[in-house]
Structure 1
Amino acid sequence: MTARTSHTAPLRFGAPAAVVGALAAALTVSPAHAQPSAPAARTADLTGLSPTALSPRPHAATPTPAAAVIPASTRPTTHTVRAGDTVYAIAIRNGLRPADVLDWNGLNARSVIYPGQKLRLTPPATAQQPPKTSSPQPVTQTGGAVHTVKRGDTVYAIAKKYRSSVSAIVSANGLGRSAVIYPGQKLRIGGTASAPSTPTTGAPTTGTPSTPSPAKTHRIVAGDTLYGIAKKYGTSVSVLLRANNLSSGAIIYPGQTLRLSAPVAAAAANAQRYATLDATQKAHAAHIIRVGRELGISDRGIAIALATAMVESSMRNLDYGDRDSLGLFQQRPSQGWGTAAQILDADRSIRVFYGGPQDPNGRATRGLLDISGWQNMSFTGAAQAVQISAYPDRYGQWEQQSFRWLASL
């Protein structure tokens, strides 16, 4: 999609496309598609405005595939992909939301599925979490601490939480850098670990971030995607693309070696952005805050909505965007977010972004309140769970500014 050049705004975003999926089988195998009409991801800066692509979800009124919907009582737990299958068709046929099937299988909107691949049709099993305590469970053998892995954890995030380091945790648990951690697994915290830091729920604090470990490499195996690799190592797709000099349309393949994020690249990705809103932008920001207060959303949830609107539309109710993307959050009629007229109703689009029991879209789409455990996710991770962008670090770059807007408006 080429954004209109006639639109002017104080803040504008550029829009090169990015592919975050990868071939997961030999080139002789005919790939199935992850989902139809997947949105193109874009970078964002302050010189050109073209909103980023949003989460792919079917329209509530979109006809279901020819095959009858499988009753929940007889629904299989997995599906073996056949030639011509799409994640959308598989999900609808089994009475599921495509966004959930993508999430359960670690896929992104641009991921490639292929014949013979097995897809989960149920959420990954999670271990029963122990009651939260003020300090981590001690390990008497080493005098250190242990952490029970939760879904979405990365070694880097765990190291940062306990003020340890990736290398210390890898060494303490005999892990290779490419080792996979899984929910319920107990990790010993190596190094001079201390009690975990308390997650920020109010205005963000300032300070020196933990220094990521030196860049390493990852050897691609069948089934890998850039999104999955980025999530595994606690980095982002955009950092991987930059670290490996990959173009937005690059394809990764089994046997290829990728460099992971370097400290400098990671610091750049987390750089905070600030802006002064004009009257139109202030009105939209105040509207987002007002609806959030009405729905009982926390300050952090409202700040996430403000940052998302800034990234997607520069806080403007746009009547254009990538493909059929529209409005403050660049929601797409073709992906179930409502009709064009509904999406351009700013009040409705804000409520659909928040989601929850009062979502005007019902279960057709998944808003912030519909994301399990969003309160414990990182700021950018929570926004990404709704938007599914190839450049999730863009949301986190507006975290501090969003809290300032919330305080002033």
Structure 2
Amino acid sequence: MSTPGTNRSTAAKPLPLVAATAVLPVVALSSLALAAPASATAPAVQRQGAISTAPDRTGQAAVVPAAEIAALVPARLAVPQQGGPARGESLQADPPATHTVRAGDTVTAIAAKYGLGVADVLALNGLTPSTIIRPGQVIRLLGAPPAPASPPSSSASAAMQPSQSTTYTIRPGDTLYGISARLSVPLGDLLAANSLSLTSVIYAGRTLKVPVPVGSAEPASSVTPASSEPVKPLVADSFMGYKYPTATVASANENKRLLNAAPVPSRAEMKQIITDTARRMGVDPALALAFAYQESGFSQRAVSPANAIGAMQLVPSSGQWASDLVGRTLNLLDPYDNATAGVAIIRALVRTSKDEDTAIAGYYQGQYSVAKHGLYDDTKQYVAAVKAHKATFS
């Protein structure tokens, strides 16, 4: 998909969209994701049961600190089995070295049985009052408490210290992934420092906070990557003999990587999304489906070297145009926004073109280019293919 005013694009077989764009705004990951690592989860709703307000007529009960409740919880919530310590059993003068926990045991009961202090038993076994013991667990009764853990190394301490931050001004063609890779800052840290998620869109000229660990010997930008092996790109930099700008290809690769890692609708589900969107927006569903089938075969994971994204194969500049048409920011990596953007542009082209053939050509070649140069040969093939698909879906 090319925006009005773009130059001629080269067609793929079977005529996918390829539009050259020198400088593109970045489109970051959609709400699909991932596993996205960076969105907040809504807290679970707590339902409070009925609470009796009747006064206690038996006198005030002793209050047990919450942190010590586990030490009073039996190893299994059941009546002690046969063979367990009987009530009133006499204390042993010489406790054994260990005690194997049985059903009904508690740390408090074990300590009392052998005449030991609860705190001593806890310390000897590296337990806390909140630790719950289980049947079969061996509790030490004699010996010295375990040695305290050695303090963390200076390098570990530095890693645990809070991060400082510097700033980075977003440039045309930048992506969140590209910035994190260039500055050797984990993408999750970069997102968290800026309250972003993988669905966020960034714009040239704005400033990002870049987290830098306290005590770092050198700036993040100077850190050498762990491996110098070249990474095979997911999207090639050229197609049909045309090589695309580095920034465009970098954005295409990031978007392809994010879509590969995210759950997306199946082709059948994407087809239904496009159908429903077209009906809602007053566009012939058969025409919208024809475009999507020709562009991507209904694949939301499709990304071209020109950074044409998703089932409707729209470059970011076209996504911005579609956002202006519908009055809200659209994320092309979101399947519903992708369908909305494509249908909005189809609707605008149909309304402003002299006939349907010209509207179809404008989606592929660009409306301005069609008006100025007429239809190129590959554009004519594209129009014929879309019309044939439309007849199939009608």
TM-score (norm 1): 0.28
Higher-Rg member (1/2): 2
Choose between structure 1 and 2: higher helix proportion.
Answer: 2
